[in-house]
Each structure stands twice: as structure tokens, then as C-alpha cells.
């Protein structure tokens, strides 16, 4: 008569499986966060003639996945709930720093490498108030990341001892959803403030292109902010690429750089309303 013996959690193969699962747990959470923090933004920008719209997503997903995978592995190796919580809190701080510094400082440098012709036309500054933005981002992220950090160890136990692929994937779905929600919140804190000016200016330019040579009423002109294009209307072409080239400390007054067929143009956008444009360089 055989006697059932439970699998020891101290076996080397079990410990190895837990650590391996910890890596993939962290990678999956980081990927979900990146998709909603930068991926959705990239997709929306790609529909508005943005220049290199996927730059932030590519620049964000790689370090996030590395940090998340490392946090998952360390937490599994330590195998202590409190220590795992501290590890994931540190990961939340790294995520928060990246969500602010990526669009405001890192992405412009990557853009200058990808688009050498844009060098000298970007005016990104670092304001002291950005530290407060990082703090706000961390305040939101640490809530969600702490929850997924606390859940990791018990979810790992159920996943590692599961005999099916579905049983191994299902436990992390709740954590993936939580990180997706946190990514959406982060998008609203930073990316949306830089995306809205591009969308607004692109809509104004498209209206100008679609109605060129037609009679436009003063009411329509005011509504679409066509006055902002008065100084450069002869340069406006259907082919264009837009990118944020500068901003104030509160991201309310944003400068958008536009590449037309015949020139680079710089436009001031004040809280989503195009104000004026001027030529700054030949194409």
C-alpha cells in the first residue's frame, strides 16, 4: 500500500521553479504596465501624424521588464512576504521615476539619435517641480505594486504546483489587471498632457488642409484656431510630422515642432489650444 507524501517546498527543483516563475511574474506585470502607460499613448499618437510615436513605449518597456523580472526573482529568492513588499516598493519607485523622466528627458535624447535632423530644435528642460511629479506617480504606483508584491508568493505556490499551463497563468491575471490600471492612471498624469497639444494642433492643420481655397466662417476659424497658422499657412502641407519640442513646468504651455515638406515649424499650444506658429528651420 502506497502512502502519499506531499512535495517538499524546500526541494531544489521546487525552489528553482519558484524563482523562474517569479521572473515571469515580474515580466508579465511590467509588460502590462508598459502597454497601458506608454503603448496606448503610442497608438493614439500614431493616428495623429506624430514623429516616432513608439519611441516612448520602446524606451520604457525594456527597462520596466528588466526591473520587474529582477524584482520578481529577488522576491521569490528571499521568500519572505515583508521583504517581497519592500522589493516591489523599490520597483515602484523605479517605475515612477521612469514615467516622468522618459517622456520629459529620455525620449528626446533617443529621438535625436533616431532623427539626426532634429538636433538643436528640441528644448527640453528639467524643472524642480518634476520631483513632485515623480512623488505623485510613486504615490499611485506603490498602492498597486504593493498589492501585486504581497500576492506574488502565495500565487507562486499555487502556480508552481499546478499541472496545467492555464493553472500557472491564471493566478497572475489579477495582478496583471492591477498593473494595467496603474498604467492607465500614469498615462493621465504625464503622457496625456503632452499628447493633447499634438492632437489639437494636428486637427487644426488637417482642417486647414481639407478646406484650403474654401470660404470659412469666422466662427469656424475661431473654433478650429486657424489664426494660429496665419504666419505659416503657405508652408502647411498634408504631409507632416509632429513632436513636442518644449514645455513649461506645469506642462500647460507646450511647444510642438512640425515638419512640413518645405520647413520645420514651431507652434505654441496653451492648454490644448494652438496659439501661434513660426518657421524655425528649413526641412
pLDDT at residue number 3: 40
pLDDT at residue number 17: 82
pLDDT at residue number 231: 92
pLDDT at residue number 37: 95
Distances (CA, A) of 116 to 112, 192, 261: 5, 26, 17
pLDDT at residue number 10: 58
pLDDT at residue number 6: 42
pLDDT at residue number 163: 62
Per-run averaged pLDDT (10 residues), the chain, 283 residues: 44 79 92 95 94 93 96 93 93 95 89 86 87 93 93 80 68 87 92 94 94 88 92 93 93 94 94 93 72
Q: What is the residue extent of each domain of the chain?
A: 12-194, 204-281
pLDDT at residue number 18: 84
pLDDT at residue number 8: 46
Model pTM score: 0.87
pLDDT at residue number 1: 43
Amino acid at each position: 500500500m502506497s502512502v502519499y507524501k506531499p512535495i517538499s517546498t524546500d526541494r531544489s527543483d521546487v525552489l528553482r521553479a519558484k524563482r523562474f516563475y517569479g521572473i515571469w511574474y515580474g515580466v508579465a506585470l511590467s509588460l502590462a504596465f508598459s502597454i497601458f502607460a506608454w503603448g496606448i499613448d503610442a497608438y493614439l499618437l500614431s493616428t495623429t501624424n506624430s514623429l516616432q510615436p513608439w519611441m516612448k513605449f520602446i524606451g520604457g518597456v525594456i527597462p520596466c521588464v528588466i526591473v520587474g523580472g529582477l524584482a520578481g526573482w529577488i522576491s521569490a529568492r528571499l521568500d519572505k512576504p515583508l521583504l517581497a513588499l519592500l522589493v516591489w516598493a523599490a520597483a515602484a519607485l523605479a517605475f515612477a521615476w521612469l514615467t516622468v523622466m522618459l517622456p520629459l528627458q529620455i525620449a528626446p535624447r533617443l529621438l535625436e539619435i533616431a532623427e539626426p535632423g532634429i538636433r538643436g530644435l528640441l528644448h527640453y528642460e528639467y524643472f524642480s517641480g518634476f520631483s513632485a511629479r515623480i512623488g505623485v506617480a510613486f504615490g499611485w504606483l506603490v498602492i498597486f505594486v504593493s498589492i501585486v508584491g504581497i500576492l506574488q508568493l502565495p500565487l507562486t505556490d499555487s502556480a508552481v504546483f499546478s499541472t496545467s499551463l492555464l493553472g500557472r497563468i491564471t493566478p497572475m491575471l489579477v495582478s496583471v489587471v492591477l498593473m494595467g490600471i496603474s498604467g492607465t492612471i500614469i498615462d493621465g498624469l504625464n503622457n496625456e498632457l503632452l499628447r493633447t497639444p499634438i492632437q489639437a494642433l494636428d486637427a487644426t492643420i488637417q482642417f486647414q488642409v481639407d478646406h484650403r481655397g474654401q470660404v470659412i466662417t469666422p466662427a469656424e476659424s475661431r473654433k478650429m484656431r486657424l489664426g494660429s497658422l496665419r504666419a505659416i499657412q503657405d508652408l502647411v502641407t498634408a504631409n507632416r510630422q509632429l513632436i513636442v519640442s518644449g514645455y513649461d513646468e506645469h506642462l500647460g504651455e507646450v511647444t510642438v515642432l512640425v515638419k512640413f515638406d518645405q520647413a520645420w515649424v514651431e507652434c505654441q499650444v496653451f492648454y490644448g489650444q494652438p496659439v501661434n506658429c513660426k518657421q524655425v528651420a528649413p526641412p
